[in-house]
Amino acid sequence: MTTQPAGSEATQTAQAVQAADKPQESELSGEQLEQMAEQMDSFIGTFNRGLKFRVDEDSGRNVVTVVDNHSGDIIRQIPTEELLQVISRLAEASGGLIDTKA
């Protein structure tokens, strides 16, 4: 007969299920998102200076930019500047009727 230690797989699974059942915390504020983006940028920068993280001021969306290390040129941005502008225009035109942050 074998006994499982207190930190067994079954115990860990039960704890994970309980954590998933807990209500989610409210959304992060703009300041918290900006701080997290800076922290991610700093952390990733230690591995690969080619990635930049920021929060777009107008839409509140997270933006990831891939930058050439040598020239500083932007290789790719997700979402693109064009899409961010469209989202901003939709928000202005709808007067808040369309949720552009979803």
DSSP state of 54: E
Name the stretches of the chain with pLDDT < 50: 1-2, 4-6, 23
Question: What is the structure's pLDDT at 101?
Answer: 59
Question: What is the structure's pLDDT at 83?
Answer: 93
- SS3 of 16-41: HHHHHHCCCCCCCCHHHHHHHHHHHH
Write out the DSSP string of 73-92: -EEEEES-HHHHHHHHHHHH
Please give the model's pTM, rounded to 2 decimal places.
0.47
Give yes or no for a contact between 100 and 91, defined as CB atoms under 8 angstroms apart: yes
The whole-angstrom separation of Cα 81 and Cα 10 is: 47
SS3 percent helix, strand, coil of the chain, rounded to 5, is 40, 15, 40
pLDDT in tens, 46-73: 655 688 889 888 778 899 998 887 788 8
The whole-angstrom separation of Cα 68 and Cα 77 is: 12
Question: What is the structure's pLDDT at 4?
Answer: 45
